[in-house]
Structures are given as C-alpha cells and as structure tokens.
C-alpha cells in the first residue's frame, strides 16, 4: 500500500544539536509517496495549498494539526526485549542474575509456542507505536519461527525494527532454554537472517541484528563465530555490557584471559561501529576509551538500571568522550514501553549522579529528547534517515496534541493534559511540560516512512 503524497501543516519541533531544539511555530512539511521529506516550509502563515503551489504539487493530502501541539520525530528505542513484554512491572526486589533465572528465562522459553508469541508480539508492537516509537532494536528469543514472526508483525504493523534472534549456548542458562551448541546457535541465526532477507530484501523496514545475549551466556567459541558472521554479513550487532557488578565478576571468571568486559567482545571482532551495547553502567575508563576508539554505540536504559538496582550510568562522561548514546526501555528490566518516560528517567538518574559528582552531570530536557531521536538514530546506524526533520529524511513522526483526548462521556476540560492553560508559556515550557507530564494520550498519530501506523481513537488528524 503506497501512501499518497501528504503535507503536514502546523508547528514542528526537532533537535538541531545535542543542546538545542529547532522549534518552528508554524510550517508545512511535504512528504512524497516514498515516505521521504520532499520540502520544508517555515512560517505561521504557510498553508498546505500555498506550500503545494510553490513546489508544483497537484494531488496530495493535507494533515493539519488542530489545537495546541506539534509534530515531533518518532522515538527510537535502542534496546527492548519484545519477548519480555508480559513481565513489564514484574521484578520484585531481584537483581540481574536472579531476575534472569526467576522471571525472564521461563517467560522467553514459553514463546516457543507460536500462538503465544503472536499474542505477545502483536501487543508489544501496538503499544510501542502508541507511545511514538517508530524504530525499535528488538531482542526476541532463541526460537527461529517466533523471531521471524516478530519481523512479520513489524512489517504488517509498519514499525521499523531490528530483529535479533537471541544466541545463548553456555550452561549459565537452563538446559530447557539455551542453544545446544555453537553450530546450532550459528545456523539458527543464519536461518533467521535469511528469512528476514526474504521478506524485506532491501531492509526498508526490518533488518536482522546479530544478538549474543551477553558474554556469560555464550561460549568463547560461539562469540568468535558470531564475530565472524558479523564480518561476513555486515549486519549490526547488539548485546549487554557492564550492567551489574556480579555480572562483571562472572565475566572475569569465565573469560580470564580478557583484559576487561569490553575486551571480550573486542577480541572476537564484535566491538565495531555497528555494535549496540546496552547499559554500560560500570565501564572502566579504559573500557570507555576502547568503546570510543571502536565507535561502538551505547543504549542507556535508566528505567531498567534503577528497577534492577544495577546502578547509575554516567551518561555525561560517555557523551563528553564522544560516544554515541541512545535510549532503551529495556522492557522488562524496564517496566515502561515509553521512550518519553525513559527520557524523563534519564534526566532523573543524571540528577542522582549530579548529587555526588556535581552539576555538570545533569542532562537537560533538550539533551534527553536528542538521545531519544537523533542519538538513537546514530546508535542504530541511520543518522541521515531518521531522528529529525530534514529534506531527504524519512517521515517517521508523531503528532503531539497537548490537549489530551477525553474519554467517552468526559468533558474536554476535565482532561486537559499538559496544555498551556493561560496562554503564557514559552515553547521551551511546552516542551518541558510534555517531557515531564505527557504520556501516550498526547501521541495522537504516528507515521513511519509516511505511513500512518497509529492513531488515537477519537482524534482524527
Ligand atoms: N543481560 C542478559 N540478558 C538480559 C536481559 O534480558 N535483560 C537485561 N536487562 N540484561 C540482560
Ligand atoms: Fe536488556
């Protein structure tokens, strides 16, 4: 289904740099039938018709933003376990290693059942789309058919995604939920890659991603072969690193010849510019320097790091080093599927760091919105395609209404959301209020590559 040309009219906001938003109080963005931004006109008096005339467009749809609101780039979730969605909010007082055994492996193991996988994956994709996530880097499970089903559902629902069949062949995982051998882990990974290539040969929407779960769940031999597969295919990779102190001790025991945790991945050719490292809470200075040198990316997961009491990642240090950082919900280590909420938690965690290390550690609202969009785009390797509004980029966007949609039978003014009640707020105020008090009710419509993939019932753009 090819969407028609469309012109989006209204205020739009995106990140210009890590520190600065580009706020355009009125304008029109023309999106062609391939879903790419063809022109951007600025000015509060610009209409769909005036912009179309200027660009010689004859047939097109106009999507106008009514009420208070703005268009914003779609969010990029750089780390999420689709398979763990039913456990979001269930973690008790556990920490990483007991959490994996108590809650996570049993749930993931149960997704060998395709009907169950279908149920879970349909829901997680719909839910993340409803929160404005237009791109996600997903971990599925070890099962090839259900991993492939995740790719199918992303394609059907229109979410851009990286789909990882999880590799875990070491005896750290229970016998009932692990790869039998290195050979089996590699052939299953190849099988899933081939399937995703068959349904989306140009990877317009779905791309395979090589996914060793983390060093402790893979043998050295398996990691080595995954490194070779990465080199052979050029596909991106994702894994976990330095999330929890006991995990780090385990890595030291299992890989005594490695200099440190990052070195385990580097030794096998997995630490490259196409690697997404989740968490990175306890990296040493030496490891940070190596990650920077290899241009590997980091997914910051503040919700999960607090829930599992893993620690507070020092994001300011990572950014100051020049490492590309994005945000990850890490469902279900993290309990929220919303990147807006994770962005808020990123501000919060940075303040806890600042209470000890000083004010420089604080991340601003502008910075976390950058991490949620442009930063995430760099992390998933698509900085010129998504994360902002520029001519030539894809229209991956969300329409934010600051007046939330009332429930049935509820008057509008009982349900105002983060609206500017007295009309005296600056645009910065509006953005900050959305970040701190907005939610999915404000995300009234979502597009990926120009295709409408979500809209709030009751709100017609
Ligand atoms: N480390 C290894 N597996 C996982 C996982 O599923 N979630 C998190 N947060 N950390 C991990
Ligand atoms: Fe994770």
Name residues with Cβ closer than 5 Å to ligand 2, which is an ion.
330
| DSSP conformational letter for 107 | H
Residue 80 CA to ligand 1 center (angstroms) comes to 10
Provide the whole-model pTM.
0.97
Q: Could you tell which of 88, 105, 111, 240 is best to mutate to test the pocket of ligand 1, judged by most ligand atoms within 8 Å of the CB?
A: 240
Q: Cβ(310)–Cβ(241) under 8 Å?
A: no
Give the residue whose CA is nearest to atom 9 of ligand 1: 333
Give the residue whose CA is nearest to atom 3 of ligand 1: 213
Neighbour count for residue 58 (Cβ, 10 Å): 7
pLDDT value, residue 411: 60
ipTM above 0.95, yes or no: yes
Could you report the average pLDDT of every consecutive run of 10 residues in the chain (461 residues)? 87 97 97 98 96 97 90 99 98 98 98 98 98 99 98 98 98 96 98 98 98 98 98 98 98 98 98 98 98 98 98 98 98 98 98 98 98 99 98 98 70 67 91 96 96 84 54
**Is the omega angle on the peptide bond into residue 370 within 30 degrees of 0, that is, cis?**
no
Quick one: which atom of ligand 1 is closest to the CA of 108? 6
Quick one: which atom of ligand 1 is closest to the CA of 81? 6
Residues 6+ apart with CB under 8 A from 41: 27, 28, 29, 30, 50, 51, 54
pLDDT value, residue 189: 98
Q: Cβ(124)–Cβ(141) under 8 Å?
A: no
pLDDT value, residue 420: 85
Residue 402 CA to ligand 2 center (angstroms) comes to 32
Would you state the structure tokens that stand for residue 344, as one six-digit string? 């808020």
Residue 443's nearest CA partner among 338, 355, 307 is 338
Q: 328 CB less than 6 Å from ligand 1?
A: no
Residue 426 CA to ligand 2 center (angstroms) comes to 37
- In the chain the domains, ranked by start, together with CATH numbers, are 6-73+389-455 (2.30.40.10), 75-379 (3.20.20.140)
Quick one: which atom of ligand 1 is closest to the CA of 84? 6
Give the residue whose CA is nearest to atom 8 of ligand 1: 333
């Amino acid at each position: 289904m090819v969407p028609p040309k469309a012109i989006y009219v209204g205020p739009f906001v995106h990140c210009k740099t890590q520190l600065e938003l580009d706020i355009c109080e009125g304008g029109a963005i023309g999106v062609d039938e391939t879903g790419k931004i063809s022109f951007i006109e600025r000015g509060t008096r610009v209409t769909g018709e005036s912009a179309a005339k200027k660009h010689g467009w004859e047939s097109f749809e106009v999507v106008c933003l009514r009420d208070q609101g703005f268009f914003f780039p779609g969010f990029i979730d750089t780390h999420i376990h689709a398979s763990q969605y039913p456990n979001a909010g269930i973690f008790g007082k556990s920490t990483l290693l007991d959490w994996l055994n108590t809650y996570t492996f049993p749930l993931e193991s149960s997704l060998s059942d395709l009907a169950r996988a279908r149920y879970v994956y349909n829901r997680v994709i719909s839910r993340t789309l409803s929160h404005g996530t237009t791109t996600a880097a997903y971990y599925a499970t070890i099962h090839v058919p259900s991993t492939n089903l995740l790719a199918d559902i992303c394609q059907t629902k229109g979410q851009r995604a990286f789909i990882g069949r999880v590799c875990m062949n070491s005896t750290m995982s229970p016998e009932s939920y692990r790869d039998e051998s290195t050979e089996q882990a590699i052939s299953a990974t190849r099988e899933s890659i081939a399937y995703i290539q068959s349904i989306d040969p140009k990877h317009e929407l779905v791309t395979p991603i090589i996914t060793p779960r983390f060093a402790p769940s893979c043998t050295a031999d398996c990691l080595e072969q995954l490194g070779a597969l990465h080199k052979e295919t050029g596909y991106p990779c994702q894994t976990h690193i330095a999330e929890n102190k006991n995990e780090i001790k385990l890595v030291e025991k299992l890989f005594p010849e490695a200099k440190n945790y990052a070195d385990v991945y580097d030794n096998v050719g997995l630490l490259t510019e196409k690697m997404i490292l989740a968490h990175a809470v306890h990296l040493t200075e030496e490891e940070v320097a190596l990650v920077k040198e290899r241009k590997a990316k980091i997914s910051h997961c503040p919700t999960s790091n607090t829930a599992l009491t893993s620690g507070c990642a020092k994001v300011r240090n990572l950014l100051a080093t020049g490492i590309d950082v994005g945000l990850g919900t890490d469902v279900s280590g993290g309990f929220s599927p919303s990147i807006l909420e994770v962005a808020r938690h990123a501000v919060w965690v940075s303040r806890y760091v600042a209470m000890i290390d000083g004010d420089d550690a604080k991340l601003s609202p502008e910075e976390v919105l950058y991490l949620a969009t442009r930063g995430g785009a760099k992390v998933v390797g698509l900085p010129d395609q998504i994360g902002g509004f520029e001519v030539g980029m894809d229209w991956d966007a969300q329409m934010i209404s600051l007046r939330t949609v009332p429930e049935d039978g509820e008057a509008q003014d009982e349900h105002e959301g983060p609206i500017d009640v007295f009309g005296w707020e600056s645009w910065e105020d509006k953005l900050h209020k959305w970040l701190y008090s907005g939610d999915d009710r404000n995300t009234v419509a979502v597009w990926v590559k120009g295709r409408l993939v979500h809209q709030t019932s009751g709100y017609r753009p």
